[in-house]
Amino acid sequence: MSKIIGRCVGETSPIEVSFVSKEMPKVGEYVSLVYDEKRVLGMIESLVRGSVSINDDIYDPKIIEKIEEIEGDDHYIKGTIRILGDIDNDLRIPRTPAPPGTEVKVADSNVLKTIFEIEDTGLKLGNLITQEEVEVQVDIDKMVTRHLAILAMTGAGKSNTVAVITDGLLNVNGSILFFDMHSEYVNAEFSNGQVNKINALLNPQYLSFFELARLADISRKAYVQERYFRMAYKETMESLQKGFINSNEFFIDIKKRLSDLLENESYKDDKKRITAVLNKMNYLEDQYSNILDLNAPNLVNKIKINSANVIDLGSVDEVASDIIVSHILKKVLSKRKEFLRTGQGLSFPVFVIIEEAHILAPKNRSTNSKNWISRIAREGRKFGVGLCIVSQSPKSLDPDSLSQANNMIILRLVEPTDQRHVQTASESLSEDLVEQLPSLNIGEAVVLGLMTKIPTLVKIDEFRGKLSGRDLKIVEEWKKSVEEKKKKLETQREEFRELGGDY
Ligand SMILES: Nc1ncnc2c1ncn2[C@@H]1O[C@H](COP(=O)(O)OP(=O)(O)OP(=O)(O)O)[C@@H](O)[C@H]1O
Ligand SMILES: [Mg+2]
């Protein structure tokens, strides 16, 4: 028999009831109510504690002492329960409200286990915070097709969550594509699949004119520079297509064409601007020699099934990351469309994970990636391209992309502006759950959206594999360094002594 924790009071509605209790339940705890021959599941959303006799109008602590002597413990606990649905009818919201007086019981963990258990397409995230014996699974199909946002302040457990999800997806042969901004995943080890490292090498010939112009730092406002660059670029591309030059001569040819313009009297008034474009070509080659390769194959062809495909952007600057991410997103989407249309292209669905999403898809700035992130957020569902955006600063994140994420895992989040943004983006995050966010511990999360039948508070599993970027044990690191230094010194002394030296 489950414990009775209170009774419904006042006016109730089919979606919300108030209750009073003598014992303190927990916010986020599941409860069940039996009425009108139905078993109804609910979640405790808010709680207050009060006293009938000790109210706000008392200004003297001595009076309170006196009241307590006379009245004893007259404290009460009041709260609200959000109705989640009929346990025996697919969690449909009942049409009738609970009658006042209805018993509120702690939900039976066996009932919860069946709700959180998903056959075939389930991924275990962790366990309920309030009832640890209940495992929480989410639906992979719904997570991938309807996108996911993982939001939390720094150090709260976002990367750990990403790793747990990745391992779960690898378990069902998943193909995951990481844009690894801090080289965190490139050396990771998962228990259910391999990391496939993909070098972030772009072939300039396959970049669009605007992508190249952005890398060359030719601003859209410098339209004269842009015009000359376009002239040279177009002619070079034509020569390449006709086979007059080979791919290794791509930049040489563009620069030659710009130099020819400089020699040409008809362009003498624009000499300075043409020279600027030439300089920018040199800058482009110098600055991005590490990511540009005239013989690089199409990166999308390197994405593997049953793998954590990692594109390491750890040593790449923000502009280049933006171009790489947008270029690959564009190609992934188009290759998936091609496959579904013609049978050629990318033959399996991909779940794309974007860490530091607020840098690539910022709120008040336009970036190349932002366009493609929001495009995949809108269209990806139909073509099997799922998106997971991860950010420690939801308030700086593009609200359009955020609101397209129909699933959310929100860990500890303290900043009120961040909380407000998350709440605006998610219809199902009530104010009371938002209030829980600052008090969550590391690894504890509110999980919402289509991938879970009911909103839930979860203690995410600790990822057991290898992952860089975890909190360093500083004192241990210092100790290790000193010991290594001592050992080195000792070996040197030993060698010196062996050579007959006097130490
Ligand atoms: N569910 C969990 N259980 C146990 N420990 C956890 C859990 N989640 C995170 N941790 C620990 O907390 C630390 C920080 O976690 P993590 O790197 O995932 O945070 P983050 O939100 O990604 O931080 P950042 O914003 O800096 O990227 C790690 O050392 C990790 O081991
Ligand atoms: Mg992280």
What would the pLDDT profile of 128-140 be if each residue is shown by its tens digit?
A: 999 999 999 999 9
Decide whether any atom of ligand 1 lies within 6 Å of the 442 Cβ: yes
The helix/strand/coil state of 98 is coil
DSSP tag of 270: G
Decide whether any atom of ligand 1 lies within 6 Å of the 443 Cβ: yes
| Residue 471 scores a pLDDT above 70 | no
| Residue 1 scores a pLDDT above 80 | no
Buried residues in 230-256 as b, exposed as e (16+ CB within 10 A):
bbbbeebeebbeeeebeeeebbebbbe
Residues 358/323, Cβ–Cβ less than 8 Å: no
Decide whether any atom of ligand 1 lies within 6 Å of the 158 Cβ: yes
Decide whether any atom of ligand 1 lies within 6 Å of the 165 Cβ: no
Considering only the C-alpha atoms of the chain, give the largest distance between any 2 of them, rounded to a whole number of Å.
104
Single-letter amino acid code for the residue at 89: N
| Residue 68 scores a pLDDT above 90 | no
Tokens coding 198: 């993909």
Lowest mean pLDDT among 87-96, 213-222, 328-337: 213-222
Please give the pLDDT value at position 469: 64
pLDDT band at 166 (very low <50, low <70, confident <90, very high): very high
Which residues have C-beta within 8 Å of that of residue 140, sequence separation ≥ 6? 121, 122, 123, 168, 169, 172, 174, 451
Residues 123/137, Cβ–Cβ less than 8 Å: yes
Probe target for ligand 1 pocket from 150, 159, 180, with the most ligand atoms within 8 Å of CB: 159
CA 247/CA 237 separation, integer angstroms: 10
pLDDT cut 90: percent of the chain above it: 58
pLDDT band at 503 (very low <50, low <70, confident <90, very high): low
Please give the pLDDT value at position 55: 79
Q: Output the CA 484–ligand 1 centroid distance in Å.
A: 28
Mean pLDDT of the chain: 90
Residues 337/381, Cβ–Cβ less than 8 Å: no
Residues 431/133, Cβ–Cβ less than 8 Å: no
pLDDT band at 313 (very low <50, low <70, confident <90, very high): very high
pLDDT band at 474 (very low <50, low <70, confident <90, very high): confident
Relative to the CA of 459, which ligand 1 atom is closest? 1
Decide whether any atom of ligand 1 lies within 6 Å of the 472 Cβ: no
Ligand in closest contact with the CA of 412: 1
Q: What angle do CA 447, 453, 456 make, to 5 degrees?
A: 30
What pTM was estimated for this model as a whole? 0.87
Single-letter amino acid code for the residue at 449: G
Q: Output the CA 472–ligand 2 centroid distance in Å.
A: 13
Alpha carbons within 13 angstroms on the beta-carbon side of residue 131 total 20
Decide whether any atom of ligand 1 lies within 6 Å of the 154 Cβ: yes
Beta strand residue intervals within 304-455, DSSP E: 307-312, 350-354, 385-391, 407-410, 444-449
Tokens coding 104: 């509120």
